[in-house]
Chain A
Amino acid sequence: NAGVTQTPKFQVLKTGQSMTLQCAQDMNHNSMYWYRQDPGMGLRLIYYSASEGTTDKGEVPNGYNVSRLNKREFSLRLESAAPSQTSVYFCASSEVGTGREQYFGPGTRLTVT
């Protein structure tokens, strides 16, 4: 049982380049999330998808787009990367409902030069 998987694990981009971070879960969860983690900031929600076919902005959505491809997959796209987007990105999934545990992937470490 793989849980939540993310690809790639590491990525280096030049300013202005684009890329898509992939996330998949095999737990049949309805809800999926994208977070970024920066030193001293904890995790901040970028976008989330409460169920297949819906997406909503989180705390820091600027510069990102998302696609809920199907129930399993939720991708995060950077259209024109900026150094401020250097961070560790985590995908998570959960059952629907308040207080449900979120299961996190191993993260993608992105550096934008």
Chain B
Amino acid sequence: TQLLEQSPQFLSIQEGENLTVYCNSSSVFSSLQWYRQEPGEGPVLLVTVVTGGEVKKLKRLTFQFGDARKDSSLHITAAQPGDTGLYLCAGIQGAQKLVFGQGTRLTINP
């Protein structure tokens, strides 16, 4: 059983559309991170959210941490082909251990 469930697992949309990716759990996390991974490379951190209800923006990407610190969402406005990649959420348990969701593979078509 995956501790963190991401949905959708695959998403293919046209350039310019908006999209939201969800990361849900029945467990509470002290904080949550979103990573992006390109083919043949390791994941790279996009953002860390710490406080319940927190919203962080990174250009066209908006990240939200649920009030109960059990879920998070990533919203992309006006998606571009450069946004294509695998998006991973990761909850932090204990001191430093990360628990990853299974990932959302996003494809933005020109």
Give me the interface of A with B, judged by CB distance under 8 Å: 4, 31, 33, 35, 40-45, 48, 50, 58-59, 90, 92, 94, 96-102, 104-107
Contact = CB atoms under 8 A, between A and B. Distances in A.
A42 B41 contact: no
Interface residues on B, range: 20 to 34
A60 B6 CA distance: 20
Given A42-B2, A42-B102, A98-B30, A104 B44 contact: yes
Contacts of B97: 45, 48, 58
10 contacts: A31-B96, A35-B100, A42-B100, A98-B96, A99-B31, A100-B96, A101-B33, A104-B41, A104-B42, A107-B40
A42 B88 contact: yes
Given A94-B96, A99-B48, A99-B92, A107 B33 contact: no
